[in-house]
Each structure stands twice: as C-alpha cells, then as structure tokens.
Structure 1
Amino acid sequence: MVQREGAPGPPPPPPARRCPLSVEPLLFLAMFALALQGPLSTQYLWDRLGAQIGYNGTRERGCGNQSGPRDPLQQEVETMTAHWNLYINLGGFLAGLFSVMLLGPWSDSVGRRPVLILPAIGLALQAAIYLVVMYQKLHVGYFLVGRVLSGLSGDFNMILAGCFASIADTSDRRSRTFRVAILEACLGIAGMLASIIGGHWRKAQGYINPFWLVFAVNLVMLLYAIFCVQESVREKKPMKLFTSRHYMSVFRLFTEPGENKHRAKLCLYALALLLVVTVHFGAKDLFVLYELSSPLCWGSDLIGYGLAAEHLTYLSSLGGLRALQVCFRDTWVAEMGLVSNISGLVVISVATTTSLMFTGYGIRFLAMATTPVIRSKLSKLVDEKEQGALFASVACIEGISSLVSTGVFNSLYPATLTFMKGFPFLFGGLVLLIPVAIIGLIEICKPKPVYREFTEASIN
C-alpha cells in the first residue's frame, strides 16, 4: 500500500518491554544491602581498631552505677571508630556529590537504566573490596577506597534519584504521591529486615558470611537493573557525560524564573525537605543510644522491637496516606504527617518508661507521609525532561542532611544530658515547625482558579 505524501504515517511500534516489573524491587535490594552493610562495617572497625591498640573489652551499656573513670582504651577505640566512619562516609559523599550531579541530568537524555546500572556496579565493587580487606586483614583505610569507587559511580543516592525519577516518568500527577510513598515503604521494609537478619547473623557467624550476602544482593540488583528495569524516558538522545551543562542544568533548576513562581516554590519545598530529612536522620541516630542508657536500660530484644516500630512507620504512613487522600489534599496530609512526627518526638523526649517510649513510636505512625508528598510536589514543578536533574539535587540534599544531622544531633545529645536527656528530640520537633509553616503558606497563597472568566469564555 502506497502512502500519500503528507499523510500521517502509521504509529511507531511500542517499545519492547524487557520485564513487566518496575523499580521498587531494585530500591528494596539496594536499601537491604546498605542497611546490612552499615552496622557490620562499623562493628568491624570497632573490633579491628580495638585489636590494634590491645583493647578486648565491650562497650558499656550505661545502665549500671559506673562510679569509676571510663576505660581510656575504650574511649580511644570510640574516637578512632568515629573518625574512620567520618572519613569513609565523607569520602563517599564528596565523590557521590560530583557523580550524582553529573549522572542525574545525563539520565534525562540517555535514559534512567544506565544511571541505575552504574551505581549497582560500584556498590558490588565496594562490597568485594570490603570482603578482601576482611579476608586479608588489610588496613581499614582500604574501606575508603571501596567507598570512593562506589561514590564515583553514583552510590546509593544515584539509585534513589534514578528510581524516583523513573516513577515520576511513568506516573500521572494524581497517582504520583502514592507511587513515591510505595518507594519509601520499600526503604522501611528493607531496613527492618536487614537490621534483624544482620544482628543475629553477625552474632552467630561473625562478619564474613553476612558480607557475602551484601555482595550477592548487590549482584542481584545489578542483574535486575540490566534485564528487568524498563526504560521510562520516552525520547532518548545521545548526550556527553562529562560536560558542565549537566551541572548548569541543576543550577538553572533553582535560579531561572518560572511560571507562577514555580522556582520559588521549588526552593521552599527543597528547604522543607532538607529540614524534615535532617530531623529524621538525627533522631534515628540517637534512638538506640537513648534506649540503651538509663532510665530505659533496654536490652537487645527491646532494641530490636524499637527498630521494628521505627521502620513500621513507613508502612503505617503508606496506609494512612492512601486513606487520607480520599478526603484531603496532599498538602494537608503532609501537614498531618508533620504534626504526627512532632507529637511523637515530644513524647519520646520525656519518655522514662518502656510504655511511654512505644507510645511515642505509635504517635509517629504518620511521620513518613510528609516526604513522599514533598517529592511529588517537587516533581510536578519541573518539566518531564528535568526529572533526573531534580532528583539528583534531591539526593544531594539528603546527603547534606545526613552530614548536618550527624554533626548537630550527636553534638547536642551529650551537651544537654545535664538538664534534659531528651532535648535533641524536642529540638527536632521545634525544627519541624518550619516545614509546617512553609508547606501551609504555599498552599494558602496558591492562586485560585478564575471561574468567572471560564464561564464567560464558555458562553461566548
């Protein structure tokens, strides 16, 4: 059949689906490996550094009457472990900051799959290097080599950014918030399972075997990214990777004026996300320390239940978000999540009994409903060709939040022990009042549709 000149041709065939699965399992696997690796590597550093200086003791739980001075060797091990953790994490963050800001905008042109495959390779290499260090008992500084290699390939933050960008590509504006919440629920479930498995396995068999699981999970994640993740970018085009245009695209995202003050809203929502995630990471870092010491004096079993309750917040927030969306706009669901978070932190700040501590966990049942709403709001403020740049900047914001929270909350906790042990949690609740104000003001000041003009246009 001859086609007439100028006549529309047949529609192009749909792209072949590699596998009818989305990015949720990929993020689950990445988070599982990360949550399993973190505590194991910290405990390995503790034991290796302790052995180097001749320390064979264990950390004090803080619930006895310790009238004598603390063991100076233990203090030295604590300091050395904290310093090496800082060096390793800072090295990975700085390398990742360079690569994520490069790979995120690049994925807007070449697609999401390449930026999901690259960090999976880097994470697998990092786990392999860690295993070599453990088997050969090399200097712990080689951990930094593995961490930097993983950071240069994008690290976990690039997987996070790529998955959220892929969801933004494939979801409509109405369902996007819930799809983002599902991704965050994957983070919570994976973290909970890894915490339970890693603790018991390390106690039974040491470090090597659990780290083989980390390596295996990273390999499965790589295979899944190669063979099962469907490309979500509709119109791919070749683009150079090493060019300053990618960094400029992230810069322009927040500086160029947009329609209806979209760029101003983008900056405000980014500030709100920075504060929410900073409080989340800061409080999470202190929960176990707060529970170990007096007056709670929890054992390992209650610590496990507390971690489970913290991670279950992801699931309860997912269910609450879905239910509340029937009656309320996403903005007000985010505000309810912040109120839930603030109330729970206030209760935890004065918790002196186990029941009161779990009451605080229970009140925070909606705490994780805020971040998916903010991510969804951010993605709706930019063009579909800017999603990679947006979520790359969001990943960097979360990396900065992690560093800030570690410095602020871990410094605030010992400084306030003399007058209020739970003050850091109260401080976190006060900080969250700023996102409450930001999100509320954006919603209140949002321009209302002009129905009269629409009616007059319909009549004419």
Structure 2
Amino acid sequence: MTLVIYWNLDLKYLYIGEVFEGVSGGFNGVILASYAYTADNTPPKNSRTIGIALIDFTTYLAAAASQVITGYFIKDLGYLYPSITTTSLMLLSLILVVVLLPETINKDRRSQYPSPVKAVKTVFGFYFSKDFGQRRSLFWLSLTAYFITYFSMNGVFFMEYLFQLNLPFCWGPELIGYFNMALYLSRQMLGIPVIKLLHLCTSDPEICIITSVILSVSFVLNGVANTDVMIFLSVLPNGIAAPLLPALRAIMSRMAPPEMQGSLFAGIGLVNIISLVTGTTVFNEMYNATVKMLRGFAFFACAGCQLLSAVTMVVFLYTSRRRIVTDTSTVGINDNV
C-alpha cells in the first residue's frame, strides 16, 4: 500500500498486498496466535477470560488512539505518512515478538506436528468427532453464538461509516475519529471491570446472555439516532457489552483440551474471516436497500442478531447444566457398582 501511494500506482496493485495479507492470515492470524499464546500461559479458570479480554481491550486502546490521530494525519499530511507509520509499527511489533516473547511449544512437540489433512480434521473435530461426546453440542451452540455476534458486529462496523457520512449527520474524518476513539476507549475502560464485577455473581455463559442484550440496546440507540448526541449515547452500552466476545472465546477454550488450543482458535479464526466477508456484504447491501425507507434498519437487524445470540446462549446454559446433572448421575451409578 505504501508503494502504491508513494509512486501513485494503479490501485489494482493493491491486490498484490491483499494476497500477501491473506496468505499470512492478516489481522485474524495475529489475533489467532495471540489467543493461543494466552491460552498456553493461563490456567483454565476465569483468569483465561481475563487474559483473552486483555488482548481485545489492548486492541481497542490502540484502535482508539489511531482512529483520532489518523483523521488529522490524513487531513494535514495526506495518505503517505500514515501508511509509512503503520508499516513501521508493524515492523516494531514483529521485533518485539521475536526478541521478547518466549516460545511456548518445545522442540519435541514441534516434531510431532500432524499432517495438514490431520490438522484440518483436528480443527473441526470439536464439532464432528465422537471423541467429544455430548460436548459437541456445546461447541456447536457456543460457535453459533460467536458467529452470529461477530457476523453482525463486523457487518455494522463498515456500514456505520456510511451511516455517519450520510444525512442528517454528514460527519467528517475528525468527528468519525472522535466517535471511534470514544467507542474503543469505552470498551477498554469498562470491559475488564465489567467482567470482574459479573464474575462475582454469574458465570461466563450468563455474562454472554447479559452483554448480548445490552449490545442489542446499543444498536437500537444507534438505529433511532437523528442527532450527534444520540449516536454518542450508544457508546456507553457498547462498552459495557465488551466482555461478550472474550467470554465466548473463553467458554470454548475451557471446553477444549490444553494440547488442542491452537486447533480451537484456528477454527475461531476461520469463523472470523467468514463472518467478516459475509457480514460486511450483507449489511452493506441491507443499508443500501433500506436507507431511504428506514435509515437505521440495519442497526435494528444487528440488534436482532444479538438477541438471537442471547437465546442461543440460554440454550447452551440449559444444555450444559443438564449435561452436568447427567454426568453426576452416571458417576453415582458407577460408584454403587
């Protein structure tokens, strides 16, 4: 991208960069590795939820800073220097990983890597293999809730720019930057405290249900907004709902064996990519088709997705509790024998 900007090349050359990003996994590859690394270094208790949440909220903090800076950066200096800055930061990140982070997989374990075909089967084994027994239904339910949530959040993310640029708001890059900064900072500042507070009286599945409902309220507020203040009011419930995705990832992480964390997060990374592609397309088309009829319709649809995710987690909670009761009964019979 930097070279295309510097030499003012045809924009078709950007496809080359997209290919490199796709092969390397891009942002989803970095996040996947970060989740797996965190799972390798934290115990399988609530602390894993905190560890995974810290990655998300660190991302939110960085995004908050970059959003407000980039708006002014582009306005005053054009596109070249922001692109150079981004490239430099990526190189710095690479150096920090190589120099500072210790390896969590020893050489003996590396020599036992499975074939690509077996590795792919392992990624999907949580949902199809009989080895997981009744847990397969729990994996399916949690993955369904995760896909619905990520699908709608990704879809509305890009569509929100169109919403803010359009009438009656007509926002410029600075105001969009301030809004995104407020959004990411609210997630950063409220996410961890909300998890800690809710863990005092609820479990991770219950946190998912509560935050899904709160997030749907945030999208409804955005959908009915007709002033700048009303859009900014949606920031608070969005921040309170920040633990939703980390809690879902932590639930799946605790159900998977320690040696299969990488496979689990590889599957989650694939869901991230699928939901990003489909969500962006669906919600952009939905916005274009309904903007003249009902400007906030896509946000209402997104709120409905969050409620559907909450219902899915209610089923998950009921199924998991019934499974615990069944497992306890089975143990009792065996003991008597």
With the length of structure 2 as denominator, give the TM-score of the two structures.
0.90
* 2:33 alignment counterpart: 162
* 1:295 equivalent in alignment to 2:137: no
Highest RCO, 1 vs 2 (Cα 8 Å, sep ≥ 6) = 2
Task: Return the alpha-carbon distance in structure 2 between the equivalents of residues 302 and 343 of structure 1.
Answer: 23
* 1:184 alignment counterpart: 56
Task: Return the alpha-carbon distance in structure 2 between the equivalents of residues 242 and 305 of structure 1.
Answer: 48
Q: How does 1:365-384 map to 2 (within 5 A)?
A: 365-384=239-258
Q: How does 1:12-27 map to 2 (within 5 A)?
A: none
* 1:317 alignment counterpart: 191
CA separation of 1:452 and 1:408: change in aligned 2, threshold 3 A: closer
CA separation of 1:282 and 1:150: change in aligned 2, threshold 3 A: closer
CA separation of 1:258 and 1:436: change in aligned 2, threshold 3 A: farther
* 2:134 alignment counterpart: 261
Task: Return the alpha-carbon distance in structure 2 between the equivalents of residues 185 and 177 of structure 1.
Answer: 12
Are the counterparts in 2 of residues 336 and 366 from structure 1 also a CA contact under 8 Å?
no
Q: How does 1:29-68 map to 2 (within 5 A)?
A: none
Q: How does 1:136-147 map to 2 (within 5 A)?
A: 136-147=7-18
Which has the higher Rg, Structure 1 or Structure 2? 1
* 1:357 equivalent in alignment to 2:231: yes
Are the counterparts in 2 of residues 340 and 365 from structure 1 also a CA contact under 8 Å?
no
Give CA-to-partner distance per residue, 1:393-421, whole Å, 9 cap, x none: 11110111111111111001121123211
Give the Å deviation of 1:178: 1.0
Task: Return the alpha-carbon distance in structure 2 between the equivalents of residues 153 and 239 of structure 1.
Answer: 23
CA separation of 1:241 and 1:201: change in aligned 2, threshold 3 A: farther
* 1:74 alignment counterpart: none
CA RMSD after TM alignment: 2.5
Task: Say which is worse superposed, 307-316 or 424-433, in terms of deviation.
Answer: 307-316
Q: How does 1:18-417 map to 2 (within 5 A)?
A: 130-174=1-45, 175-233=47-105, 236-239=109-112, 243-315=116-188, 316-417=190-291
Give the Å deviation of 1:458: 10
Task: Return the alpha-carbon distance in structure 2 between the equivalents of residues 356 and 132 of structure 1.
Answer: 40
CA separation of 1:305 and 1:454: change in aligned 2, threshold 3 A: same
Give the Å deviation of 1:190: 1.2
Task: State how many pairs are aligned.
Answer: 331
Task: Return the alpha-carbon distance in structure 2 between the equivalents of residues 387 and 452 of structure 1.
Answer: 29
CA separation of 1:246 and 1:418: change in aligned 2, threshold 3 A: same
* 1:69 alignment counterpart: none
CA separation of 1:138 and 1:330: change in aligned 2, threshold 3 A: same
What one-letter code is carried by the residue in structure 2 that aligns with 1:249? T
Are the counterparts in 1 of residues 68 and 178 from structure 2 also a CA contact under 8 Å?
no
* 2:304 alignment counterpart: 430
Are the counterparts in 1 of residues 72 and 174 from structure 2 also a CA contact under 8 Å?
no
CA separation of 1:270 and 1:242: change in aligned 2, threshold 3 A: same
Are the counterparts in 2 of residues 165 and 388 from structure 1 also a CA contact under 8 Å?
yes
Percent identical among aligned pairs is: 23
Task: Return the alpha-carbon distance in structure 1 between the equivalents of residues 33 and 210 of structure 2.
Answer: 28
Give the Å deviation of 1:180: 0.7
What one-letter code is carried by the residue in structure 2 that aligns with 1:426? F
Give CA-to-partner distance per residue, 1:113-137, whole Å, 9 cap, x none: xxxxxxxxxxxxxxxxx33333333
Task: Return the alpha-carbon distance in structure 2 between the equivalents of residues 229 and 297 of structure 1.
Answer: 45
Are the counterparts in 1 of residues 209 and 313 from structure 2 also a CA contact under 8 Å?
yes
Give CA-to-partner distance per residue, 1:142-173, whole Å, 9 cap, x none: 22112212322332222111110111111112
User: Secondary structure, in 3 states, of the residue corresponding to 1:236?
Assistant: helix
Task: Return the alpha-carbon distance in structure 2 between the equivalents of residues 300 and 188 of structure 1.
Answer: 19
Are the counterparts in 1 of residues 70 and 177 from structure 2 also a CA contact under 8 Å?
no
- Could you list the runs of 5+ residues in structure 2 that have no partner in the other structure? none
Select the structure that is richer in helix.
2
Task: Return the alpha-carbon distance in structure 2 between the equivalents of residues 354 and 132 of structure 1.
Answer: 37
